[in-house]
Amino acid sequence: MILVIHAAATWFMVGLIWTIQVVHYPLFQRVDANSFRSYEAGHTRRMGMLLLFPASLEVVTAGALVWVAPSGVPMVLVLAGGALLAAIWITTALVQFPLHRRLGAGHDAPTIRRLISTNWYRTVAWTARGGFAALLIA
């Protein structure tokens, strides 16, 4: 059961990161400078509420799989997926959060471009995690 919950949480996050990458972040470039602070604040608050439960569930189940891996589940896949998850959250803390903080002060085209380009690392990593989650279930 833990594998199914983990895979569901991971694939939710895969879908969310792709939506952010190809829809939300590019649209930041089209928001009027006068309303950008409000837009960024709303985006950050709503995305935070949306991802709080599935992201937490993903982290908790990833950790649980290390301690109680079902038989037949290759530990190397569990650890590789966990390493990707750690890299995602380190990148989020060190790159994405500071960029969002900067954008909280107002529209800044170079910062938006950096947000979009650096988010590809998280997008690729979460997509790979989705692949690992599928392999764990298989």
Q: Which domain holds residue 50?
A: 2-137
Q: Is the pTM of this model over 0.75?
A: yes
The structural domain count of the chain equals 1
Q: What is the DSSP letter of 70?
A: P
Dig out the tokens for 3 from the structure. Answer: 């594998």
Is residue 81 scored above 90 in pLDDT? yes
The residue type of 39 is: Y
The residue type of 3 is: L
What does the pLDDT average to over 111-138? 95
CA nearest 17: which of 105, 129, 98, 109? 129
Query: Tens of pLDDT along 4-24?
Result: 999 999 999 999 999 999 999
